[in-house]
Amino acid sequence: MTNFPLRCWTVLSTVLSIGLLFFLLSFVFIKAQGVISLNFILAKPAGFPVGSAGGIWPAVAGSLLVTLIASLFATILAFFTAVYMVFYCRDDRIKLVVNLIIQCIAGIPSIVLGLFGYAFLVIKLELGLSILASGLTLAIMIFPYIQIRLQKLFLETNKQLLEASASLGINRSYTIINLLLPMYRKQILSIITLASGFAMGAAAPVMLTGCMMNAPVPESLASPFMSLPYHLYVLIGQGISLENAYGTAFVLMILVLLLNLLAAVPTLLGMRGKR
Amino acid sequence: MEQTFEKLFSILSTIFTVISVVLLFLVIFFITQESMLIFQEVNFLDFISGLTWNPLASEPTVGILPMILATFYVSMVAVLISLPIGIGCALELAALENERLKGFFTSILAVLAGIPSVIYGFIGLLVVVKFLEKTFRLAAGESILSGGIVLAVMVLPYIVSSVTETMEKSYKKYKETSLALGVSKSYMLRALILPNAKGAILTSMILAFSRAMGETMAVMMVMGNSPILPKLLGKGETISALIALEIGTAGLGSLHYHALFTSGFVLMMFLIFLNALFYLIKKNLTEHLE
C-alpha cells in the first residue's frame, strides 16, 4: 500500500523539475513577443534613463566578445594543463598540488573572482575597467570546468592505444594532436561550448571588472563594454523598463540555449552513428 | 624536426600549466592579502560577530554576522525545498527503462543548470516575490523565503544529477535479483535504492549548499538587501550581494574596501571548507562501494 504515495512523489517531482524549464522558457518567450524585433536587437540603447528605449546591440556584441575572449584563454590554458598533467607530469606530488588548487578555484564563488579581477587585473596590472579584464576574470571562472573534464577525458583513454602508439616510436605530441584530438573532437567541443554558456550568463564577475550601463560596441581590448546579463540586471533593478527587460532576457536565453544546443549536437549525431 | 616539435610541445604545456597554477594561486593569495589589512583596525572576532555594518559612518563599524546568517539561512531554505523534489526525481530517473526518455530528461536538467542566474532572479522577482506578496499580504515580498525558493530551483539540477548517478548504479546492480525475487519496482526503490543512496544524498546536499552560498545575482534581486538579522519573511542580504552592491562605491584602500575583501575571504573560506568536506565524503563513499 505504501507504493502508491511513493509513485506519486517521484512522478510529481519529475513533472515539476522538467516542467520548470518549460515554464521559464514560455514565461520569457510569451512576454517578450511584443518587444523583439530586428530593430531591438540591432539598435543602440536610447531614452532617458538609458535603456528605456532603443535596443541592445552593444550588449549583444559585448557579451559575445567577452565570452570569446574568456573561452579562448580558458581553453588554451586548460588544454595544456590537462595534457601536462596526464602525459608529461611524472611527479605525484606536483599532480596532487595542481589538482588541489584547481578544485579550490572551482569552488570559489564568481563574485570573489570578480573581486580578484577588480583588485589585481583592473587596478594592479592597470588593465582598467575593460573587456580584457572581464574576459580574463571569466576565463579563470570557467578554467576549472574545462580542465577537470579534459583531464578526465584524457585519463580515460584506452591505455593500449597509447602504448601501441608509443611502441611504434611515435612522439607523445604527435599522438595527442593526431590521435586524441580527432578522437575526442566532439566531447572537447561540447565541453567548451557549455563553459562558454556559463561565461556568457555570468553577471557578477563582469560588473566589477569592466561592464558598464551604457557603452558603445568595444573597439579595443582596453575599452569598457556592455553585457546582456548586466543590462538585464540594471533594467529590472532600477526599474527602467520592464518590456526591454523581457526582450533582453529573451535574447540572452536564446544565445545560451543555442550554445547548449551546439554542445548537444555532436553527441546526438554520435549516438545516431552508433545505431 | 619531429623531436624539436615534441620538445616544444612539452615545454609549451609545462609553461601553460605554470601560468595557470600561478594565476589560480594568485587569486587565493591576493584575496587573502587584501583582506588581512583590515585586522590592523578591527578584531577578527568582532568582524564576524558584529551586528552592525556601517563602514561609512564617522566612527565606522564593520560586522558581517547578519550577512553570514542570511547566507546560511537562505541556502538552508533552498536545500530543504529542493531536496525532496530532487530525490523524487532522481528515483524516477534511476528506474526509468526508456533510454531515450531518460536522455531527454537529463538534457532538460542540464539546460536548467545552464540558464544564467540573472534570468532566475528576473523571473523570481516577477513570479515568486509577487506570489509571496499576495499570499502572505506582505508590503514587500523580497525576503529570505523568496531567495530560498529561487535558489531551490537553481540547485535542483545539481541534486538530481548527483543522486541519480548513485541510484542508477545500485538499481542496475540489484535489478536482476529483485526481479527474480518477484519484488515490485516501487518496493525495491523504497526499501533498497533509497536507503542505499543515503551517502549520495548527503554529498548532494553539501554540493547544493555550496552552490547556493556562492550565488550572487539571483539572490541579490529577490532578497531586498538590507543588512539586518534575517527572518524567513523579512529582508536579508547575503555576503555575495553585499560585495556586488558596495565594491563599486568603496574608495580604493579604504576600510570599506578592505572590509568587503574580508567578507569575500570569509565566504571563500566557507566554500573551500565545504568543498573539502564534499570530496572527503565522496572519496570515502566510492571506496566503500568498491
Beta-carbon separation of B13 and A7 below 8 A: no
- Which residue, A76, A84, A68, A83, is CA-closest to A138? A68
How far apart (Å, rounded) are the C-alpha atoms in residues B273 and A105? 12
What ipTM was reported for this prediction? 0.92
Beta-carbon separation of A115 and B92 below 8 A: no
A267 part of a folded domain: no
A108 part of a folded domain: yes
Q: Check whether B218 has a pLDDT greater than 90.
A: yes
How far apart (Å, rounded) are the C-alpha atoms in residues B276 and B282? 10
- Out of B17, B153, B247, the one facing A118 most closely (by C-beta) is B247
Q: Check whether A270 has a pLDDT greater than 60.
A: no
Residues of A with Cβ-Cβ distance to B106 under 8 angstroms = none
The pLDDT score that the predictor gives to residue B126 is 94
Q: Please indicate whether residue A270 or residue B83 has the higher confidence score (pLDDT).
A: B83
Mutation choice for B interface testing from A111, A258, A274 by most B CBs within 10 A: A111
CATH of residue A73: 1.10.3720.10
The pLDDT score that the predictor gives to residue A49 is 86
Per-residue pLDDT tens for A123-151? 999 999 999 999 999 999 999 999 999 99
Distance from CA of A149 to the nearest CA of B (A): 15
Is the Cβ–Cβ distance between A176 and A189 less than 8 Å? no
Across the range B77-95, mean pLDDT stands at: 95
Beta-carbon separation of A81 and B16 below 8 A: yes
Say what percent of chain A tops pLDDT 70: 96
Say what percent of chain A tops pLDDT 90: 64
Beta-carbon separation of B116 and A20 below 8 A: no
Across the range B46-75, mean pLDDT stands at: 92
- Out of B5, B27, B86, the one facing A105 most closely (by C-beta) is B27
Distance from CA of B172 to the nearest CA of A (A): 18
The pLDDT score that the predictor gives to residue A264 is 77
A9 part of a folded domain: no
A121 part of a folded domain: yes
How many A/B residue pairs have CB atoms within 8 Å?
A: 247
Residues of A with Cβ-Cβ distance to B248 under 8 angstroms = 207-208
Across the range A254-265, mean pLDDT stands at: 87
Domains annotated for chain B, with CATH where assigned, are 68-289 (1.10.3720.10)
Q: Please indicate whether residue B283 or residue A151 has the higher confidence score (pLDDT).
A: A151
Q: Please indicate whether residue B219 or residue B253 has the higher confidence score (pLDDT).
A: B219
Residue A51 backbone class (left: φ over 0; alpha: ψ -120 to 50; beta: rest): left
- Out of A88, A97, A107, the one facing B271 most closely (by C-beta) is A107
Residues of A with Cβ-Cβ distance to B186 under 8 angstroms = 3, 6-7
Residue A200 structural domain = 59-225
Q: Check whether A272 has a pLDDT greater than 50.
A: no
Residues of A with Cβ-Cβ distance to B117 under 8 angstroms = 201-203
Beta-carbon separation of B84 and A13 below 8 A: yes
Q: Check whether B122 has a pLDDT greater than 80.
A: yes
Distance from CA of A9 to the nearest CA of B (A): 6
Is the Cβ–Cβ distance between B237 and B263 less than 8 Å? no
Across the range B82-109, mean pLDDT stands at: 91
A27 part of a folded domain: no
The pLDDT score that the predictor gives to residue B159 is 96
* Amino acid, res. A110: S
Beta-carbon separation of A204 and B240 below 8 A: yes
Q: Check whether A271 has a pLDDT greater than 60.
A: no
A162 part of a folded domain: yes
Q: Which long-range contacts (CB under 8 A, 24 or more apart) does B127-134 make?
A: B127/A27, B128/B222, B129/B222, B132/B233
* Amino acid, res. A205: P
A73 part of a folded domain: yes
Beta-carbon separation of B217 and A233 below 8 A: yes
The pLDDT score that the predictor gives to residue A214 is 87
Q: Please indicate whether residue A23 or residue A272 has the higher confidence score (pLDDT).
A: A23
A36 part of a folded domain: no
Across the range A59-85, mean pLDDT stands at: 96
Q: What angle do CA B30, B155, B86 make, to 5 degrees?
A: 150
Residues of A with Cβ-Cβ distance to B271 under 8 angstroms = 107-109
Number of independent structural domains in chain A: 1
Nearest Cα residue in chain B from A7: B186
Per-residue pLDDT tens for A13-56? 999 999 999 999 999 999 998 888 889 999 999 888 888 888 99
Provide the pLDDT confidence category of residue B164 given band limits of 50, 70 and 90.
very high
The pLDDT score that the predictor gives to residue B289 is 62
